[in-house]
A and B are shown apart, each in its own frame.
Chain A
Amino acid sequence: MKKTFWQKLSAWHKGDYDFTLKTTDHVDPQIIHEYTGKEHTIQALSRKERAFSGALYNVLCVLFCLILIGVLLGAVVSLPPHGNAENPAVNEVMDRYVEEGMQETGAVNTVAGMILDYRAFDTLGESFVLFTAVCAVTILMKNTKRTAPDGTPLPMVVAPGIVDYSKDNIVKTVSRFLIPFIFVFGVYVLLNGHLSPGGGFSGGAILGSALILFSMVYGEDRAAAIFSERLIKTVVLVSLSFYAIAKSYSFFTGANHLHSIISQGIPGRILSAGLILPLNVAVGFVVCCTMYSFYMYFRRGRIQ
Chain B
Amino acid sequence: MLTSFEDLWTHVADNYIVIVSIILFGIGFTMLLFSRNLLKKVVGLNIMDTGVYLLLVSMGYIDGRHAPIIANGITDAANYINPIPSGLVLTGIVVSVSVTAIMLSLIVRLYEKYHSLNLDEIYELRNKEENT
A109–B94 CB distance below 8 A: no
Interface size class of B (residues with CB under 8 A): 35 or more
**Contact residue among A35, A89, A140 (Cβ-Cβ distance under 8 Å from B106):** A140
At the interface, is chain A mostly helix, strand, loop or mixed? helix
**Inter-chain contact A69/B22, CB cutoff 8 Å:** yes
Q: Kindly supply a per-residue 1/0 record for chain B positions 79-112, scoring 1 wherever the CB is within 8 Å of any chain A CB and 0 otherwise.
A: 0101111110011011101110110111011011
Chain A nearest Cβ from B73, distance in angstroms: 9
Q: Is A184 an interface residue (CB 8 A)?
A: no
What residues of chain B lie closer than 8 Å to A102, measured between beta carbons?
70, 75
Given contacts A73-B19, A122-B91, A145-B112, contact A197 B67 (CB under 8 A): yes
Mark contacts of B1-40 with chain A using CB atoms, 8 A cut-off: 1 yes-contact digit, 0 otherwise.
Answer: 0100000100110110111001101100110011000000
Residues of chain B within 8 A of A108, CB atoms compared: 69-70
> Does the CB pair A76–B19 fall under 8 Å?
yes
List B contacts of A197 (CB < 8 A): 67, 69
Tell me if B131 and A31 are in contact (CB < 8 A).
Answer: yes
Pairwise interchain contact B26-A65, C-beta atoms closer than 8 A: yes
B-contact bits for A80-115, CB 8 A (1 contact / 0 none): 011111010110011101110110000011110011
Q: Is there an interface contact between A98 and B62, defined as CB atoms closer than 8 Å?
A: no
Residues of B within 8 A of A (CB): 2, 8, 11-12, 14-15, 17-19, 22-23, 25-26, 29-30, 33-34, 58-63, 65, 67-71, 75-78, 80, 82-87, 90-91, 93-95, 97-99, 101-102, 104-106, 108-109, 111-112, 124, 127-128, 131-132
Pick the 8 closest A-B CB pairs, nearest first. A133-B98, A110-B68, A83-B63, A69-B26, A140-B105, A95-B77, A65-B30, A98-B77
Q: Using a CB–CB distance below 8 Å, which chain A residues touch chain B?
A: 20-21, 23-25, 27, 31-32, 35, 42, 58, 61-62, 64-65, 68-69, 72-73, 76-77, 79, 81-85, 87, 89-90, 93-95, 97-99, 101-102, 108-111, 114-115, 119, 122, 126, 129-130, 132-134, 136-137, 140-141, 144-145, 154, 157, 195-197, 201, 267, 294, 297-298
